[in-house]
């Protein structure tokens, strides 16, 4: 929803080649509700894919900045690639 809002209302062009067409607004500058609905129905899956990829890349970069390990539910540390660190392997 946030990506759709950015694309339609804010004219955000950071979602690859996905841009809201000018026809979503009528001549008086108001959104044509039916046109918006049709555009969303035809494009939501593509927007979802692109927004998901952008968020995954943002998450990957934040993990790189924080380091190469993260806490699991059990409190053990796991490397970003999913393997247990050597310290935990000898303890388990």
Number of domains in the chain: 1
For 80, the domain range is: 2-91
Distance CA 14, CA 31 (A): 21
Distance CA 11, CA 6 (A): 6
Express each pLDDT in 24-70 by its tens digit.
998 899 999 999 999 999 999 999 999 999 999 999 999 988 886 55
With bands split at pLDDT 50, 70 and 90, how would you rate the model's confidence at 79? low
Res 6: pLDDT: 96
Torsion over CA: 38, 44, 45, 50 (sign): positive
Res 5: pLDDT: 96
């Amino acid at each position: 929803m946030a990506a759709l809002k950015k694309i339609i209302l804010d004219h955000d062009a950071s979602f690859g080649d996905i841009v809201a067409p000018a026809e979503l607004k009528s001549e008086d500058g108001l959104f044509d509700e039916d046109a918006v609905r049709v555009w969303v129905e035809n494009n939501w899956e593509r927007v979802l894919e692109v927004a998901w990829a952008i968020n995954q890349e943002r998450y990957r970069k934040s993990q790189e900045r924080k380091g190469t390990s993260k806490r699991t539910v059990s409190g053990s540390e796991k490397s970003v690639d999913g393997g247990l660190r050597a310290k935990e392997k000898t303890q388990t």
